Chains A and B, each alone.
Chain A
Amino acid sequence: MAAMSEKLTENDVRKVAKLSRLKLTDDQVAFYTDQLAHVLGYIDKLSELDVDNVEPMAHPTDMTNKLRPDEPTAGMPVDAALANAPASDPPFFKVPKVLGEGSGA
């Protein structure tokens, strides 16, 4: 497990940008590395606390597995779902080629 307070590097930011699907220029990588390192430095404050026996809290309510009656209801009509699509060929969304040459896969 990586410890806190390891200084964030430009390579870390490139990796995170890739995971986040954000295309950054080299200048932006440098810019965000500085800023995020500064913010993470502050967040390191959390390592002051002993949290070994603390139950994590992902959500403010205690509800679990809330189920509704299993009754079919109308879904969104295809034309409404496609109405905001930048490119479509009803009933499909259009994207560049996914597999094979030129797909980037």
Chain B
Amino acid sequence: MSIDLTQATMTELRDAVADKSVSAVELTRAYLERIEAHDGHVRAYNETYADRAIERAEAVDRGEVTGVLAGVPIALKDNLCTTWGHTTCSSNILKNFRAPYNATVVEKLEAAGAVVLGKTNLDEFAMGSSTENSGFKPTKNPWDTGRVPGGSSGGSAAAVAADLCAAAFGSDTGGSIRQPAALCGVVGLKPTYGLISRFGLVAFASSLDQIGPFTHTVEDAAVLLNVIAGHDPRDSTSADPDTSGPIPDYTANLDRPIEGLKLGIAKQYMGEGNDPAVAKMIDDAIAMYKDMGATIVEVDLPHTEYGIPTYYIVATAEASSNLARYDGVHYGHRTEAPDDLIDLYSASRAEGFGDEVKRRIMLGTYALSSGYYDAYYLRALKVRRLIKNDFDAAFAQCDAIVCPTTTGPAFKFGEKTDDPLSMYLNDVYTVNANLAGIAGISVPGGFTEVDGKTLPLGLQLLGPTFSEPTLLRAANMYEKSNNFGNTRALASV
């Protein structure tokens, strides 16, 4: 096989299988060999399915499985249900769980011919920003294995960054796709709330969760969005084409710059907390967009700083309800010899959940409890409205907002684990998109040198609901103006 996995994009690999310059089996084996060689170190995967992947690839080579992703080896965050293997959410409470159905995205990806290599590590139940809350193990950043890959979808981001799959999927509740994409130097897309079916995504916070892809290029993300977008009768919150319009071809016109593109910059995202390299990344991006003919406008998002406290009430309140299902009765871990039924519930949950999950369940329960509901939950819902109003006003002036994904590059293991609040503050530039339900993407934004290591940064573009065609085109303009995404992490592995 002549293709170098550490240079190719997903679309190139897909085309190589299609024109038979490489077989699907060769491609799948090549990734399985890379996983064998490198994943002991990166620890991106919770589980791999070598035999099943080879069988699927053989079916592609026989022409029995076709589609726009025929033979493309992918990875899934381990909170997406599959009828094969385990679906654990990196939690000891679900360590042995086997899902009775496939997530809708999994069915769509397989129907398009994708080959699932395995499931990737995450912060337990997607609660965290570093994978350090995984019940099993932390995943390492392929650029510097002393640093976190970000989270919660850290396994998926690291798997793409280290070329242990051609593309991967994650979920983004407060930044869990965009933040690890930024810290691992790959593209991460959080689609508009409702664009992707959440059926079969294990629920964390149902009004915030959204599934999206990790790729090396914006084009690859657009190809995958074409496959997974669309209404699903099994998810009543998925967007109805009657009201939100038909699903367009996201790859159409990707290379054509947008005439009259208006981009917003907000001072609330350009604070002193930003690493100097992040500030320079934004300046350079703005200069590039101006050169390409875009207009830059200043927008005001005055409630930005209230995003974190609002998010940590809304998300934990929803989580406290969603995670009530883990009771030691229907599925999941069950304590030995409980005193009675209540003890069965309480001991099973205490043994099965890790610290961060317990903290969030209790915080959410507190915010919803009698006497505190108005002061916390109801107030947070009102501030959520103010945050959405900020975006509505900003998008009346511009097509998209240019901002950083994070305030700096990947942090070290242990740096934020003693203080939950310092970990929460890491999501400052990402949570508001989830609260408002808008679209966001992180694209490689260059590098910074820290302690002799080269670490990637992420540029974030935020757009109104269902603005993905514009957002992807604007992201593609930026990507094509630099070569950041072409530099792969493997040199550090």
Contacts and interface: CB of A to CB of B under 8 A. Distances in A.
Interface of A: 1-4, 8, 12-13, 15-24, 32, 35-36, 38-40, 42-47, 49, 51, 54-61, 63, 66, 68, 76, 80-81, 83-87, 93, 95-98, 102-105
Contact of A60 (B324, B366, B437): B437
The A contact surface, by secondary structure, is loop
A80 B98 CA distance: 10
Interface stretch (B49-57, B181-189, B382-390): B382-390
10 contacts: A15-B369, A16-B369, A20-B361, A32-B359, A32-B362, A43-B376, A46-B380, A57-B385, A84-B97, A105-B340
Contacts of B384: 56-57
Contacts of B362: 13, 16-17, 20, 22, 32, 36
A35 B324 CA distance: 22
B346 interface: yes
Contact of B347 (A8, A23, A58): A23
B372 A2 contact: yes
B382 A23 contact: no
B237 interface: yes
Interface in B337-368: 338-347, 349-350, 353, 358-359, 361-363, 365-366
A23 B348 CA distance: 9
Contact of A42 (B339, B369, B375, B421): B421
Contacts, number: 183
A77 to B, nearest CB: 9
Interface string B432-456: 0001110000000000000000000
A23 B237 CA distance: 34
Interface of B: 96-98, 100-101, 193-194, 207, 233, 236-237, 239-240, 243, 303, 305-306, 308-310, 312-313, 320, 324, 327-334, 338-347, 349-350, 353, 358-359, 361-363, 365-366, 369, 371-372, 374-376, 378-386, 388, 419-421, 424, 435-437, 465
A46 B349 contact: no
B376 A4 contact: yes
A72 B299 CA distance: 50
Contacts of B339: 104
Contact of A85 (B330, B359, B420, B421): B330
**Pairs of residues from A and B, 7 with the lowest C-beta to C-beta distance, nearest first:** A60-B437, A104-B340, A84-B331, A86-B334, A56-B381, A51-B382, A23-B346
Contacts of B97: 84
B85 to A, nearest CB: 14
A2 to B, nearest CB: 5
A13 B243 CA distance: 44
A80 B424 CA distance: 38
A75 B349 CA distance: 28
B306 A46 contact: yes
A61 B382 contact: no
